[in-house]
Amino acid sequence: MSSRPLRGLPASPASPPASIALMALVALLTLIIGSVAAASFPRPPAEPFRVLVYSGGTHASQDSVRAGVDAVRKLGADNGFGVESTDDPDVFDDAVLARFHAVVFNNAAPASGKGEDLDEGHRAALQEYIRAGGGWVGLHDAAAGTGWDWYEGLVGATLDRGTPVRTGRVEVLDHAHPSTVTLPDLWERTEEWHNWRADPAGTVHTLAEIRVRDGVTGLADGADHPWSWCQNYDGGRSWFTAGGPAPSAFQEEAFLAHLLGGIEWAAGAKPGDCTATRAGSFQRTPLATGGPADPVDVAVAPDRRVFVAQRTGELEVVDQRTMKVSTALDLAYSPETAARSDGLIGLALDPDFAVNNWLYLLGSDPAGKRLALSRFTADGSTVDPASEKRLLVLPGRRSTDSGAPASSGSLGFDRDGRLYVATGDVSLPLASGAPDDLRGAILRITPQDDGTYTVPRGNLFEPGTAGTRPEIYATGMRNPYGFTVDPVSGDLLAADAGADGAVGYFRITEAGQVGRPYCSGGTARGAADCSPRGTGAPPDTVPGGGGALSGPVYAYDPESLYRTKFPEYFAGKWLTYDPAGRRFTTHSFQRGDQSFSDPRFGSVEAGELHSVNGVFDDMGWNRPSAAVFGPDGALYVIDAGLGSGGEGAGVYRIDHVGDGRLPGAAVSTDRDNGPAPLTVTFTGAGSGLPEGVPVSYAWDFDGDGGTDSTVANPSYTYREAGRFTARLTVTGPEGTTAMTGQEITVGNTRPRITVHELPDGGLYRPGGTVPLTVDVRDDEDGTRPVDCSRILVRSQAGRPGMLRPLVGAPGGGRRCRGSLAMAAGDVSRSGSHRVTVQYTDRGAPSAPELTGTASLTLRTAFQEAEQYTSTGGAHDGAVAGRRTGASGGRALTEIEDGDWIAFDPVSLRNIRSVTVGATPCGTGGTVEFRAGSPDGPLLGSLTVPGAEDGVAGSGTAGGGTVSPTAALRSPDGSVALYVVFTDPAWNTEQPDLFAVDWLRFDGPGAGRAGAG
């Protein structure tokens, strides 16, 4: 491409031939004089970088354009970098662009259509410049629509409709990036605010976002509204700010600092991470899957050993050097104790664990009547039960009904070595706080070397105060689901579940009666719009269900050499997670007091809630229930799995990989247990790097540290009995590695469990009794009668009775019979509930015990329609929306011809009919019940009238509800039950068919009592 001089820069005039000799002589003299001068005077410092300001194709006013050019020139003069400006599109030439480290699009965007200012050649030069590592900076109108997909990806978003000029505030989220490091937490600005055609959050790294609750009219609901962001894009660097539409912005000191940092980062002159909130920047590595049974807490030792507490009483240890999983301690709970709602619930390592190897456990004593806090001593991957030092016993058992929500507990040390102990009690009323009751409280003690403890100064009650327990630090919470101690501030952060289902978030800075939550959740984002204070008046509680748990606060260590540690962006942020919503959020807090000029905005204080944002949205979870940052700056997460039995449970490490990626390591086998000799076929499918990047494999089958195979899919024969950890190490081209392990048990066969009488997807009525029979087959036990006491039945929906041998049953004495007493009362009438049955065998010579598991789903006979498993159809399915007067406050709307919902699995055994609660607010239609698919066998149907037909007794046409009933045929076994909504006469010009609130299945169902 040819190059033309930049406009505003004079071209050199052509010289006549006669003057060439004279010019050469002058040039020689100039060179000599310059050499002498250079030897006599110091050289000016070289420019660290140079930027080009481009203002062509602008959509902004000329005043804004000139102000932008002048501002960047002054920034360059004040900070020593070079600046050139132009509006000539011919600047987009390979040779010209090569002179610059960054290009600033000054309220300018490539025009689209007939009058485009960047032709095909110009665009190719800009693309090549970015792909070669160039930097790009965009101001406001640089995000105007262009129709050029690559450029709009470079910007990150496209401007949509704007709002009237109004004062609002920007929430600064990243206090580490050079463009935002000096900005206030809440940045008050008066300007035009913009929506984006597509929310860029997740595809870019958000540096700052608009505070939407400031009442800025015209901002779309349900979007994050990023205001400034950055990203590594197509080989280069891209930084954008929505600021700068008016000339006044370029007179603001804060905005100029913001712009300067963006230019410096884009030019490569200052470092800054731009991946922290972008999807795909974190990688999850499984450390233990398939083995954990109801894991509840996790702690990571200085040498990166991972300790995992299981509610069933086992303390597991994962050695990340070998990927071996060992049982360090087994509290030997009976099946009855393990089926209840306590068990082992809390774990913490001593601050001096690297020296003394002390760890603390909170859990039921062996009799299951009390909770005990004990200290144990670890030795590698084992813990000696005889080393127990019992510090504290909490009087009285809590709920013994396994149908009630699980009780909670948590342990944590502060920087002064004081141990906090959180205890919950689901049987206590909201805001309990008896001064002599340790339940529903957070305790604070100082452990002593001899296994006792002292009470530190500053707790709620002075030692010796009549009728009080001096261990109490904070009280008034019902069931504090975990807490964390901020490693920097020392503040206590806790989440608590109220009796009304609301989740309270607490920031506790001193001992006190917490009372109502200072911040209560239940919104889609995971927290409410409120300001948690440790000592101030609580704001209004936001109703609504929720289950968010308190996670850790990240302490960034700039000296840490771990390459996958979390970035500084997360420093001081509080991580919480919602098991029900299967999501993680970060809570940011005000770092200092602030006041504002607009009278609409009250002052804020340090410690108040600043913002709440999602993280790891690209990762799928079953039920995240505990998380902690390790010494490596990685996050370790417990996924408790599905239901009370922990199906799909696992222990994971999350690393920050940014724009790179660690190789993945995954192992699957055709078998993992059986008699010796045992031949196992391994596969590394799922390992490696994307796009076929070559990796190497190293297998250690017997755990001796050697390499037994280097192929991707090997086989190995185990000759001797025992338990082995087969380890796979995958190495990428840059030397990065990933490792995973697989437990292989030789000499024992996992028992096989079959549940009879209780169907998968069976329908029951709360308060009824559901029978079940368990068949156990164990190869090593042969025909020996099964020990029914070794069978563990777990369900949050029902309390298991004692299992007894079924005399005279087929298969001899390998069957046990029992029942589940289904919970009633405040347990939800609707929904699905997991039932897990486990049997642990007696092991075999030289081979450990193995546990067999069977799981199934039970459903209440009354089902809220919005709790479907899936939806779909010709018009994208139904929508669960809020509806006044509906059962549960929600109902199915947007129902059109051919739409459907499905419940999977469902057993209609002993079900005679179904009744549907609906609102005839549209044209009306038919509800069909089909097995297996939307067009599967018809099991029954009913009709819902249209609004014009009226509803008897409602007073107005379409103003009430109807509840038609249909007889149902029962298919064999469990099926996916499809509820299909039809009206062949319907068309898109008509309203929806109707709204559906609930379904009630009538008949005995899975229980002995009627389900109707």
Sheet strand arrangement including 668-669 = 668-669, 678-683, 715-718
pLDDT of residue 1010: 36
For residue 39, the SS3 value is: helix
Rounded Cα–Cα distance for residues 636 and 317 (Å): 13
pLDDT of residue 953: 34
CA nearest 408: which of 330, 348, 496? 496
pLDDT of residue 472: 92
For residue 243, the SS3 value is: coil
- For the ranges 65-79, 602-616, 657-671, the one whose mean pLDDT is highest: 65-79
Q: Residues 678-704: pLDDT tens digits?
A: 999 999 998 988 888 999 999 999 988
Tell which wins on pLDDT, 46 or 818.
818
Confidence at 354, pLDDT banded by 50, 70, 90 = very high
How many residues does the structure list for the chain? 1012
For residue 788, the SS3 value is: helix
pLDDT of residue 873: 92
Sheet strand arrangement including 650-656 = 282-289, 650-656, 635-639, 624-629
For the cut 80, the answer to whether the pLDDT of residue 234 exceeds it is yes
**Tokens found for residue 849:** 């015990």
Residue 638 parent element (H or E):
strand 635-639
Q: What is the mean pLDDT of residues 404-413?
A: 73
Q: What is the pTM of this model?
A: 0.82
pLDDT of residue 28: 42
**Tokens found for residue 951:** 């509803």
Rounded Cα–Cα distance for residues 944 and 919 (Å): 8
In the numeric block, the tokens 């929720």 are attached to: 546
**Tokens found for residue 699:** 């297998």
Confidence at 433, pLDDT banded by 50, 70, 90 = low
- Cβ neighbours of residue 75 under 8 Å, at least 6 residues apart? 81, 83, 256, 259, 260, 263
Bridge-based pairing of strands 205-210 and 166-172 is: antiparallel
**DSSP notation for 918-969:** EE--SS-EEEEEEESSTTS-EEEEEEE--GGG--TTSSSTT-S-B--EEE--
- Do 951 and 920 touch, CB atoms closer than 8 A? yes
Confidence at 1007, pLDDT banded by 50, 70, 90 = low
Q: What is the mean pLDDT of residues 715-733?
A: 94
pLDDT of residue 60: 67
- Cβ neighbours of residue 74 under 8 Å, at least 6 residues apart? none
Confidence at 386, pLDDT banded by 50, 70, 90 = very high
pLDDT of residue 424: 66
pLDDT of residue 305: 97
- State the DSSP code for 141: G
Within a 10 A sphere around the Cβ of 797, how many other Cβ atoms? 25
Q: Residues 776-800: pLDDT tens digits?
A: 999 988 778 888 988 988 887 888 8
Within a 10 A sphere around the Cβ of 37, how many other Cβ atoms? 9
CA nearest 634: which of 576, 554, 551? 554
- For the ranges 174-183, 219-228, 387-396, 794-803, the one whose mean pLDDT is highest: 174-183
Within a 10 A sphere around the Cβ of 339, how many other Cβ atoms? 22
In degrees and rounded to multiples of 5, residue 492 shows phi and psi of: -100, 130
Asked if the peptide bond before residue 286 counts as cis, ω within 30 degrees of 0, the response is no
pLDDT of residue 768: 86
Rounded Cα–Cα distance for residues 659 and 440 (Å): 45
- For the ranges 55-59, 226-230, 753-757, the one whose mean pLDDT is highest: 226-230
For the cut 90, the answer to whether the pLDDT of residue 82 exceeds it is yes
Residue 191, Cα to own-chain centre: how many angstroms?
A: 34
For the cut 80, the answer to whether the pLDDT of residue 173 exceeds it is yes
Confidence at 200, pLDDT banded by 50, 70, 90 = very high
Confidence at 886, pLDDT banded by 50, 70, 90 = confident
pLDDT of residue 947: 84
- Do 517 and 544 touch, CB atoms closer than 8 A? no
Mean pLDDT in the chain? 84
Confidence at 581, pLDDT banded by 50, 70, 90 = low
pLDDT of residue 545: 35
- Do 335 and 390 touch, CB atoms closer than 8 A? no
